[in-house]
Amino acid sequence: MSNYPKPPFKPQQQAVPGAQYRMDPQPDCGEKTYKGSGRLANKIALITGADSGIGRAVAIAFAREGADVAISYLDEHEDAKETARWVEAAGRQCVLLPGDLSRQPHCAAIVNDTVEAFGRIDILVNNAAFQMTHETLEEISDEEWVKTFDVNVTAMFRICKAALPHMAEGSSIINTSSVNSDAPNPTLLCYATTKGAIANFTAGLAQLLGKRGIRVNSVAPGPIWTPLIVSTMPEESVKNFGGNTPLGRPGQPVEVAPIYVLLASDEGSYISGERYGVTGGKPIL
C-alpha cells in the first residue's frame, strides 16, 4: 500500500486557476518516482493543462518514456516552468504555450506552434478544464455556463480539428473526462455536464477516426489532489477530499499518468472509444 496523504487536509483556498507550488501537501506528479522504459520513444505530444496536476504528471511520464512535449496552460507561468524543467531533465524538449483556450484563435495557435517546433503531433491530450462549485441553479450565470463549455468541450473539438491534419496513422487522442461524466455531482452541474459531453464526444470521434488509424479514448479520474480542487471547492470539501472513496484518500496525479502512457503507446493499438476510470475504487459502470 502507498503512504499517500489522507484527509483531513489543512484548510486552503486559492483563486482560479490555482498554483500548485502553493499547495500543502504538494501533489505528487511523479517528479521523484516515475520510471520510463522507452514506451513513447521519439513521439511528439501536445498536452493542455500540463503546468500542474494530472497534466504535469502526464508530461513528466511522457518525457521519461521518450516523448518531446508541448504544454498548453492558462497563465500559471511558475508551475509551467517547473514542468518544463522536469521534461528537460528527462533529456526531452519542451515548448510552453500559455493562453486562454476559450478563444478559438488560441486553440489553432497551440497546434501551429507545436507543429512549428516539432513537425507533427503523435499524441494529443485534451486535459485543460474549468469548474466551479454552486449550491443552486440560480447561482450559475449564463456567462459561466458558456465559458465552461468553451474551455472543456468546444476547445477540445477545435484542437482536435486543427491537429488532425498533422496526425498520422497510429496517433492517439486522449481526453480527460471525470467520474462526473456518469455520476454527476449536483454542486458541479455545469462541469459534470461537460464531462458527460467529453465521454460521448470521445466515443463518437473514435468511430469517425478509426479508418484513419487514429485512436481516441477518455480517462475518468475520481478525486485527485490538484490546484483545480483548492481553487474551486469550498474549504469543507477540500478538508475531506477523497475521504469517501473505498481507498479513503484522493489519488495523486502520478497515479493517473500510467493509463495515459498506455493509451498513447503502440501497446494500446487496439484500444479505442473507451473511457478508463482511475477512481480509488468507486466504480464507473
Residue 11 in grid coordinates: 484548510
Chosen from ligand NAD, Mg ion, none, partner binding at 83 (C-beta under 5 to 8 Å by type): none
Site residues for ligand NAD, 135-154, by CB under 6 A, read: 151
Residue 71 contact partner, candidates ligand NAD, Mg ion, none, CB within 5 to 8 A by sort of partner = none
Minimum gap (Å) between residue 97 Cβ and Mg ion: 13
Q: Is 73 in the site for ligand NAD (CB under 6 A)?
A: yes
Q: Does 52 bind Mg ion (CB under 5 A)?
A: yes
Tell me the angle at which helices 155-163 and 104-118 cross, rounded to the nearest 10 degrees.
30
**By CB under 6 A, residue 59 contacts ligand NAD:** no
Nearer to ligand NAD, 130 or 149 (CB): 130
Among 9, 62, 86, 130, which residue interacts with ligand NAD (rule: CB under 6 A)? 130
Q: Which of 228, 247, 257, 264 binds ligand NAD (CB under 6 A)?
A: 228
191 catalytically annotated: yes
119 neighbors 102 (Cβ within 8 angstroms):
no
171 contributes a contact to ligand NAD by CB under 6 A: no
Q: Does 221 bind ligand NAD (CB under 6 A)?
A: yes
How far apart (Å, rounded) are the C-alpha atoms in residues 244 and 250? 9
Q: Which residues bind ligand NAD (CB under 6 A)?
A: 17-18, 49, 51-55, 73-74, 76, 100-102, 127-130, 151, 176, 178, 221, 223-224, 226-229
